[in-house]
Every structure is written in structure tokens, then in C-alpha cells.
């Protein structure tokens, strides 16, 4: 393969293999992601035939994780994240600790040291947010209370793994692991462990504060600024720039992962009225690049580990599917939340993913984890991701069985806490829906008041709402003076004005517009316009008028036709109709 086209070849072959294997998986009534994993295995270095560039595939997969987490953030407000903290924070922390202890115990059975056991336990304790989102989307649970809790739980896990990645080099030096990299020694040995932890927590906290409190003021403003240009490609580019820029900056400056940075970028952008448009624009890229994530996972997998260490793989898989799930289920019940929520969280955690690979790779680099340990973790990831849809089905069946056998317990246990959480999430969702409803109402009012704008699409109508500048006038106030240079086009939202022509004044009411003739001709105002009632206008200034009309020739032609008809009627000294303008 020529080096110059390795990226093209990797992307092209990845999509072709994924499409074929995904289709075959669907025909076999398996989730398409199983096909994507198989495609990755076929393209990996451990199977004959085409071998893709693993380094490129890994980076492309990271793009998929970033875009997918960004999409999650767009539909997950900061207030919702705070609403589930009562279960997500203690639950995730306790589950990580207990699962790590089980991992250490499992490693000790294999004769591994404490360092290898910690890396193994941490790797098996954290689930993949990407896999969870796919599972929740297939079951329409993303916006449910159970889905919100599960996503919040995994976000807390990701935050904990950020701290674990920082502390692993320090742990390697304390344990005297062989093969610790120079970078790892520098990270660990340059300062005391307590100081390292404090600095890491401070960085993560600073990033969270900036993202939650400063971001909603800056990002929506930037989006509005770009949307005013009316360029669809520039808006899409800006959305991606914000998502990737915040993700990269979060990693470089604050030391958090790309995925977490992208998630908070989405949370910040969700505060904008343009968030739905940002989500729609980024969705195709999310879907395409998320496929590369599963392919890259498959490429890392060495199938021979199933023959070399079958019992070790089964042990890791049992911890992932049964150990973690049981721990999470018990924690949810101990926190006095419902059985159904416990089963959803348990099924959500019955797999491992992106952070597990990162932890395993770092553990091998630092000499904490043997190479076969990484293969076991990868095998556990592949198998658990493949089996996860079946785990969800089993959880649903178990939920139905408990409901039938112990209906009183099922409906009453944790009911109060669930009601409180559901009410809080419902209030938050109602606020967000009301904001969206108000936005849609403004759009509809624009069309109802000015039917002329029905000729342009929804994006253009949104752009108009951003371009319009409100202006008011009192009775008797002169809005336009004859002979002045045209500064804008006026749309009457309420009230009435009088166009003072030589023959007879013309009255214009809501839905009419005026001031377009000077803008179209480039000449001076041809009449005075005076308010005869308390008026509210939407004003499109000259520059915005010229730019907007140049992008929408159909609308410009309609305005020009009305202006020409009005000019002809003025020439004949006739009254203009109620939808024509003046000046």
C-alpha cells in the first residue's frame, strides 16, 4: 500500500467491510455492531488477507467516540447531569472499587502481582459509553429516567478513569514495575502522589466549572454569530470546530479525555436555541465514525487468545457480565431506587470499551500488566460487546418475571426516590421543551404574519430570526424620511404606519413591509413613513438584506415583483394593496 493513500484505503476498506458484515449480521438477526467487530477482526493483523493501518484506524475511531459523545451532550443538559448525581456518583464509585477488588482477586488466581490486578480490575470495571448509547437508542431509552441514570453513571466512571490514568505512572514507580517509560516516570516521580491527585482533581474541576458556567455564555453566542452568516457549510464546520476544539483543548490543558471534553462541549451547546440544528448537522458524521470505533476494537483482537487462555477469558467475561452487573444492581437497590432501574444499569455495565483499552495499553507500557493481560481484556471487550444485546434482553425478561412474581415489591420498592428523580428530570425536560416550543412558535408566527417567508426553508427562517433587529415606534414618530439613504427593510409585527404619498396616504398594517425599494434600487427614500399606532417592527438592515436576498433569489424575485407593482401603482396614483411596501 502506498503511504500517500493509506488513510483513504483504511477508511474505504473499513466502510466496505463494515457494510457487508453489518448487513450479514442483520440477516442473522444479530446487532449490526457485531458485524462491525467482525469486520475489524478480518482487517486486523491477526487474520490473513488485507491488513489495515491500525494507528490510523485508532485515531479515526477516536473521532467517532468524540462525535458520539458530543451528540450525547447535545441531548443531555448540565441540569440533568446534576439531577442524577445522587445515584450516579456514589453508585459509580462504589462499583469501580468493588469490581477492581474482584479483578485483583482474579489476577491473584493467575499468579499476577498487585499492579497487574489493579490494572485488570480497573479495565474491567469501566463500561463503554459508546456501546451503551447504541443499546439505549435501539430501545428508545436514551431520554428515559433509567437511561439518564445509566449515562450519568458512565460519565462518572469516565471521570474516575481520568484520575486513574494520571495515577498509574505513580503506582508503577511505587511498585517498582519494570519497563516504566521515561514519560511515566516523569509524570509520577516529579511530585508526591498526594500532590498529583490534588492537581488532577483541580484540573478536572476547573474544566467542569468552565464548561458548565462559562461555556453556555460563549458557545451559543458563537453559534448565533455564525448562523447569521447564513452559510450552511460554515455552520456545520463551526459545530465540528467547537466539538473537536473543546475536546482537544480539554485533553491538552486539563488532562481529561477527548470523549469527556466532547461530551461537555455538547452539554454547553445544548443551551443554544440552535442545538437541534447542530445535532442534525453532526449526526451523519457521528454514525459514520462510530462504526470505525467498533472496527478498531476488532482490529486489536487476537483470536488465538481464546485457545491459549480460554479459562482466563471466561473468568474476565464472567466478571464483566455477572460480577459488575450484580454489584451495580445491588448498589442501586441499596440506594433505594427501583428494581427496573437497577436492571437497566446492570445491563448497561455488562460490557467494557474504550477506556479499558487505554488502561490496558498504559499498563503494558508501564510494565504493570503482562501482554497476555491486554489480550484477555480485549477478548473480554469483544465478547461482552457482542453479548450485550442479549444481556439487555435477559434483563427485560428478568424484570417482567419479578413484576409477575412479586408485583407489590416491584411497584413499591424505591418508588419515592424514583418519583422524586422522575419529577426533577421531568421539570428539566419541560423547561427544555418549552424553550424549543417557544422557538418553534416564533418560527410559526413569522410565517403566519409574513407568508412571504414560507418560500424559504426552515434554516433560512431561523437565520431571519437571528438577523432581524426589533424596533418600536410611538404614534406620530417618523420612521423613514424622504430623501434619506435606505438603511433597512421594515416588517410590521404589530401596529400600523402611514406611507405619505403625494396623492393620498397609504395605510400599512401587520404583515406588510416597507423600505425595500431603496434597498433594491440603491437609491434614496421616495416617501415618508409615519407611525399612526404603537408599532413593533422587525428590521433587516441593508447589508443583511443584500446578503440574504442574494442567497435566496426566489424571495428576492417576489420582493422585487411586489416593489415593482407598488411603484407602478404609485405612478398611476393608486393605493397599494395591503401586502405591498413603500419607500
* 7-32 residue pLDDT tens: 788 888 888 999 999 899 888 877 78
The mean pLDDT of the chain is 81
Return the pLDDT at 187.
Answer: 43
Residue 33, pLDDT score: 76
Distances in Å between the Cα of 427 and the Cα atoms of 88, 279, 420, 434, 465 are 19, 22, 11, 10, 27
- pLDDT for the residue 208: 74
What pLDDT digit, counting tens, does each position of 34-73 carry?
Answer: 888 889 888 888 888 777 777 777 777 777 778 877 877 7
Which pLDDT belongs to residue 188? 44
User: What confidence category does residue 250 fall into, taking pLDDT thresholds of 50, 70 and 90?
Assistant: confident
536 forms beta bridges with 472, 494
Cα separation, 521 vs 357, whole angstroms: 65
Residue 449 per-residue DSSP state: H
Average pLDDT over residues 154-159: 84
Contact present, 41 and 47 (Cβ < 8 Å)? yes
Please name each of the domains of the chain with its CATH number: 3-404 (1.20.1530.20), 452-571 (2.60.120.10)
Q: What is the mean pLDDT of residues 166-189?
A: 58
Residue 350 cell numbers, joined: 455488562
- Asked whether residue 412 carries a pLDDT value surpassing 60, the answer given is yes
3-class SS of residue 461: helix
- Stretch 104-130: mean pLDDT, rounded? 90
Give the residue ranges of DSSP H helices in 44-84: 54-74, 78-83
**Three-state secondary-structure class, residue 538:** strand
Query: Given this model, what pLDDT does residue 333 score?
Result: 92
- What pLDDT score does 488 carry? 87
* Phi and psi at residue 525, to the nearest 5°: -65, 140
Q: Are 242 and 66 in contact (CB under 8 A)?
A: no
Among 414-418, 496-500, 564-568, which range has the highest average pLDDT? 496-500
275 or 424, which is more confident? 424
**pLDDT over 70 at 574, yes or no:** no
Largest CA distance in the chain: 103
Amino acid at each position: 500500500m502506498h503511504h500517500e493513500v493509506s488513510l483513504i484505503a483504511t477508511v474505504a476498506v473499513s466502510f466496505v467491510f463494515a457494510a457487508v458484515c453489518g448487513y450479514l449480521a442483520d440477516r442473522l438477526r444479530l446487532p449490526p455492531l457485531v458485524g462491525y467487530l467482525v469486520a475489524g477482526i478480518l482487517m486486523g493483523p491477526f487474520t490473513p488477507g488485507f491488513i489495515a493501518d491500525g494507528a490510523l484506524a485508532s485515531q479515526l475511531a477516536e473521532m467517532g467516540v468524540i462525535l458520539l459523545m458530543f451528540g450525547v451532550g447535545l441531548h443531555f443538559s448540565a441540569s440533568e447531569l446534576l439531577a442524577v448525581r445522587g445515584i450516579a456518583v456514589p453508585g459509580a464509585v462504589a462499583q469501580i472499587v468493588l469490581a477492581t477488588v474482584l479483578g485483583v482477586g482474579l489476577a491473584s488466581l493467575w499468579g499476577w502481582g498487585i499492579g497487574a490486578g489493579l490494572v485488570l480490575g480497573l479495565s474491567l470495571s469501566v463500561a463503554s459509553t459508546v456501546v451503551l448509547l447504541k443499546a439505549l437508542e435501539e430501545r428508545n431509552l436514551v431520554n428515559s429516567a433509567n437511561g439518564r441514570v445509566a449515562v450519568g453513571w458512565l460519565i462518572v466512571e469516565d471521570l474516575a478513569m481520568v484520575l486513574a490514568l494520571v495515577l498509574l505512572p505513580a503506582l508503577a514507580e511505587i511498585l517498582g514495575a519494570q519497563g516504566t517509560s521515561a514519560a511515566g516516570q516523569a509524570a509520577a516521580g516529579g511530585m508526591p502522589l498526594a500532590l498529583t491527585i490534588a492537581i488532577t482533581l483541580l484540573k478536572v474541576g476547573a474544566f467542569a466549572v468552565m464548561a458548565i458556567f462559562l461555556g453556555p455564555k460563549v458557545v451559543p453566542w458563537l453559534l448565533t454569530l455564525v448562523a447569521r452568516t447564513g452559510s450552511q457549510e460554515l455552520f456545520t464546520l463551526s459545530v465540528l470546530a467547537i466539538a473537536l476544539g473543546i475536546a482537544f483543548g480539554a485533553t491538552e490543558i486539563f488532562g481529561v479525555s477527548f470523549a469527556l471534553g466532547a461530551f461537555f462541549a455538547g452539554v454547553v451547546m445544548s443551551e443554544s436555541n440552535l442545538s437541534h440544528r447542530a445535532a442534525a448537522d453532526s449526526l451523519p458524521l457521528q454514525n459514520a465514525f462510530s462504526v470505525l470505533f467498533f472496527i478498531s476494537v476488532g482490529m486489536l483482537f487476537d483470536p488465538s487468545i481464546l485457545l491459549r487462555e480460554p479459562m482466563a477469558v471466561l473468568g474476565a467475561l464472567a466478571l464483566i457480565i455477572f460480577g459488575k452487573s450484580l454489584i451495580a444492581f445491588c448498589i442501586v437497590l441499596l440506594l433505594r431506587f427501583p428494581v427496573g432501574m437497577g436492571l437497566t444499569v446492570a445491563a448497561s455495565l455488562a460490557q467494557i470499551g474504550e477506556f479499558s483499552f487505554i488502561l490496558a495499553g498504559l499498563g503494558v507500557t508501564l510494565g504493570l500488566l503482562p501482554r497476555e493481560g491486554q489480550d484477555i481484556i480485549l477478548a473480554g471487550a469483544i465478547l461482552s460487546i457482542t453479548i450485550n444485546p442479549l444481556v439487555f434482553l435477559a434483563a427485560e425478561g428478568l424484570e417482567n418475571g419479578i413484576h409477575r412474581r412479586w408485583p407489590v415489591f416491584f411497584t413499591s420498592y424505591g418508588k419515592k426516590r424514583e418519583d422524586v428523580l422522575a419529577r426533577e428530570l421531568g421539570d428539566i425536560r419541560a423547561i427544555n421543551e418549552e424553550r424549543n416550543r417557544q422557538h418553534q412558535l416564533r418560527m410559526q408566527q413569522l410565517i403566519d404574519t409574513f407568508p412571504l417567508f414560507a418560500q424559504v426553508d426552515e434554516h433560512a427562517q431561523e437565520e431571519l430570526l437571528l438577523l432581524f433587529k426589533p424596533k418600536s415606534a410611538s404614534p406620530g414618530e417618523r420612521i423613514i424620511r424622504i430623501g434619506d439613504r435606505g438603511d433597512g427593510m421594515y416588517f410590521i409585527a404589530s401596529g400600523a404606519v402611514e406611507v405619505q404619498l403625494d396623492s393620498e396616504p397609504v395605510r400599512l398594517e401587520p404583515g406588510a413591509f416597507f423600505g425595500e425599494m431603496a434597498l433594491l434600487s440603491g437609491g434614496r427614500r421616495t416617501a415618508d413613513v409615519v407611525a399612526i399606532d404603537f408599532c413593533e417592527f422587525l428590521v433587516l438592515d441593508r447589508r443583511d438584506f443584500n446578503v440574504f436576498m442574494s442567497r435566496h433569489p426566489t424571495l428576492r424575485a417576489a420582493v422585487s415583483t411586489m416593489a415593482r407593482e407598488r411603484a407602478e401603482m404609485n405612478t398611476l396614483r393608486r393605493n397599494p394593496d395591503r401586502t405591498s411596501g413603500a419607500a
